Amino acid sequence: MSSLAALRPFGVIHVDDPEKVTRELRAFTADADAIFIEYPTDPASALEYVELLLRAPLYLLGMLAFQAVAYSPLYLLFNRDLFQTELVAARRVVDDHDVALHAVDDHPNRQLLEGNLVHSLANWALLAPALALEPVRVPVGIGLVVVSGLLPVLVRRRGHRYAAMALVPVGFAGVVAAIALSNVFAVVLFAALVVALVTIFRTVDRRNEAMVERARRLSADEGYDDAVIVTGKAHVGGVVQLARDRGLAVPSVHLSNWRGDGTTHADFEASERDDVDLPNARDFRTPPAVVPGSERTVLGRRAVAALVDLVLAGTLWFMGLVALVGVAGEPFVDGSLGVQLAGILSIWMLAVGGYHAFLEWRFGMTVGKYLLGLVVVDDSHDLPSGRAVVVRNLLRPAGALLAYAPGGLTALASSGNRTLGDRLAGTYVCRRAKSTDSSEPAESRADAPTTDGG
């Protein structure tokens, strides 16, 4: 029996390109004895979800709402499956190589099933007033969200991939219907999302400790000497520190980049970590590869992308408006036309402007731009700064109300297809170049967009 000597973290983004992550993981685990993965060691069953609903109703409601309106649609769009990218990739690597795969995560679901009286009391204390106000609609809303978030997951676990994928749009619609059902329930759902987020962040340290300790214990039992632990990038820093504290070598760390080639940091030992600047595990911003000069030929793609994004941002606006009505109540519903218009337009500006600004700053592209193969860049072909994305999207809410006619006319008059927002912010919209093979360095990027004509 041998003990684990080296643990190499492989940091991922849960929603990414499975083909790219598989290539990178295959190269990174070439000499490993085992792969440990951030996946529940004992996923909750259908009956345990019922128990969890009784123990922590707001937490589960928030998690399943996230699942229905965010996780499942994004997994479907980018992963073409309802499993996280890293799980898809790890299973492919295991099928191709003689390496063991072990789940090691202590998921919050399992932690709460084991009992947390304070957490349970807090959940019910927040939920009870809503149940008293609307004893029928609130439970119906809870039921809709639970079924919407849980059904595709349980169907996928039973091996029915395409049936589960087909249920994703139904689940999304179910959550929207639940929000529209009751203003009180809209407030409950907002509280549930907050509770779920707080619970996730509060359990990160415990999950890191559990993953590293289980990796050590399994290695001792199975005789692994060198292992890779695959986890979300937000866990990497904590896992590295815990591995150091337990005397393990960390000879290399791999950090994935969203839709782009990842970076492997090697040639250092755990004893030397104090002198090594490990990149921020939460940094998703990676310079994109673009097709030189393509900003001149993307106007049609931009129009289609804008339509897709308008539908998504409009959905966010509707959900925000329902929440506003639920929180403000009669003073808003019975208020003057000016007050109502102010509220409606404020939510519109936040939904449309915020949706585009956040995604373009974080990833360089919205969902629509991703689907059409586009990316936003600055003069030096890097992702735009926070200031630039705010400036380029300042007029977007007003332009959206006018079907983007002003921006389209401005782009038509520019040889570089640049809207007024692009000109003010110094940005361009270009076609993305295909990702290079992950086994090669990702240092070379395409030339900056041309600046002729503005």
Per-residue pLDDT of the chain (454 residues; tens, 9 = 90+): 457 788 999 999 888 889 999 999 999 998 899 999 999 988 888 899 999 999 999 999 999 999 998 889 988 888 888 888 999 999 999 888 878 999 999 999 998 888 778 888 989 998 999 999 999 999 999 999 999 999 999 999 888 999 999 999 999 999 989 988 888 888 888 889 888 988 888 888 899 999 999 999 999 888 899 999 999 888 888 888 888 888 888 888 998 887 778 888 875 444 444 444 444 433 445 567 788 888 888 888 888 998 888 888 888 888 777 767 766 666 666 667 777 788 788 888 888 888 999 888 878 888 888 888 899 988 888 888 888 888 888 888 888 877 777 777 888 777 777 888 888 889 989 988 865 443 333 333 334 343 333 3
What's the confidence (pLDDT) of residue 365? 87
CB 184 within 8 A of CB 131: no
Q: Which two tokens stand for residue 232?
A: 């979300």
User: What contacts 188, CB < 8 A, 6 or more positions away?
Assistant: 58, 61, 127, 130, 138, 141, 142
Q: Which two tokens stand for residue 236?
A: 């990497």
Q: Which two tokens stand for residue 304?
A: 């289609």
The dihedrals phi and psi of 121, each to the nearest 5 degrees, come to -65, -40
**140 CB neighbour count, 10 Å cutoff:** 15
Question: 332-346: b or e for each residue (b if 16 or more CB lie within 10 Å)?
Answer: beeeeeeeeeebeee
What is this structure's pTM?
Answer: 0.65
What's the confidence (pLDDT) of residue 289? 78
Going from the C-alpha of 59 to that of each of 49, 120, 160, 193, 352, the distances in angstroms are 11, 9, 27, 7, 28
CA distance 212 to 244: 11
User: What contacts 172, CB < 8 A, 6 or more positions away?
Assistant: 68, 69, 72, 73, 148
DSSP E strands: which ranges in 275-373? none
Closest CA to 39 of 235, 301, 173: 235
CA distance 136 to 148: 18
What's the confidence (pLDDT) of residue 149? 93
Going from the C-alpha of 391 to that of each of 287, 295, 317, the distances in angstroms are 20, 19, 21
What's the confidence (pLDDT) of residue 435? 53
CB 23 within 8 A of CB 242: no
